[in-house]
Amino acid sequence: MDMNTDLNQHISQQFNNELEELRNHLLAMGGAVEKQVSDAIESLIQADSDLALSVRAKDDDVNFMEVSIDEEAARILARRQPAASDLRLVIACTKASTDLERIGDEAAKIARFSMELAEHGEAPRGYIEARHIGNHVRRMVQDALNAFARFDADMALAVAQEDKAVDREYRSAMRELVTYMMEDPRAISRVLNIMWVLRSMERIGDHARNIAEYVIYLVKGTDVRHIGLKRMKKEVFDTGFPES
């Protein structure tokens, strides 16, 4: 092995390490955000203001992670000029970091309404639905991140499909709450607080779906945003391979 090959191998090893690190940082951010989501749900169900406060306090950490992942990605783009699947990984990381940050924002909003409800009176309805939908979207975030970690397009497709179910659950819960509001107008502002919580949960589901779509882009090389589940499924199960 001549010195040149040695040097090239060294550089390529370093490059691989950098990509691996970027991905690890994204997954670490994902872990932090997932914790924010489950703590936010917990703070609502347990009427735990302290926990809610800690969710809001940690939002800064998540914001910082987003900025540093994007910095890292820009540095790799500038220095390493990645191509094909390496390039897709860098792009997917920087897109996913934005969605993770927004999930963190929604968790912080949920925590804010938890505090409101814990301190100024519980809502008479909506907690069962919030727990149910909350756990549903928390699992979607978790699965989207697992799909990212394992480059698993099938699992990513399953996450995208779950989003439809969440939307249905959300709409049905909202209808019920509107009906309840009309029956008991004194509860309006407390029920509204639960409605905003459900709204944030539904948004978290959307962001988990976005992340799942980046995983499919990463693994399959196809941008599956906005194409509908049926065509998305076709892209995932298509036996063709993207340019590696």
Residues that bind a copy of itself (CB under 8 A): 60, 63-64, 66-67, 70-71, 74, 77-78, 81, 83-84, 87-88, 91, 94-95, 98, 178, 181-182, 185-186, 188-189, 192, 199, 223, 225-226
Q: Which residues contact 118 (CB under 8 A, 6 or more apart)?
A: 43, 47, 48, 49, 52
Contact, 55 vs 40, CB < 8 A?
yes
Q: How far is the CB of 182 from a copy of itself (least distance, A)?
A: 5
Q: Which is nearer to a copy of itself, 38 or 94 (CB)?
A: 94
Q: How far is the CB of 41 from a copy of itself (least distance, A)?
A: 21
Q: How far is the CB of 3 from a copy of itself (least distance, A)?
A: 26
Q: Which is nearer to a copy of itself, 45 or 87 (CB)?
A: 87
Q: Which is nearer to a copy of itself, 23 or 207 (CB)?
A: 207
Q: Which is nearer to a copy of itself, 8 or 68 (CB)?
A: 68
Q: What SS3 string covers the chain?
A: CCHHHHHHHHHHHHHHHHHHHHHHHHHHHHHHHHHHHHHHHHHHHCCCHHHHHHHHHCHHHHHHHHHHHHHHHHHHHHHHCCCHHHHHHHHHHHHHHHHHHHHHHHHHHHHHHHHHHHHHCCCCCCHHHHHHHHHHHHHHHHHHHHHHHHCCHHHHHHHHHHHHHHHHHHHHHHHHHHHHHHHCHHHHHHHHHHHHHHHHHHHHHHHHHHHHHHHHHHHHCCCCCCCCHHHHHHHHHCCCCCCC
Q: How far is the CB of 81 from a copy of itself (least distance, A)?
A: 4
Q: Which is nearer to a copy of itself, 48 or 205 (CB)?
A: 205
CA 100 to CA 147: how far, in whole Å? Answer: 14
Q: How far is the CB of 48 from a copy of itself (least distance, A)?
A: 25
Q: How far is the CB of 234 from a copy of itself (least distance, A)?
A: 17
Q: Which is nearer to a copy of itself, 32 or 192 (CB)?
A: 192
Q: Which is nearer to a copy of itself, 48 or 130 (CB)?
A: 130
Q: How far is the CB of 174 from a copy of itself (least distance, A)?
A: 9
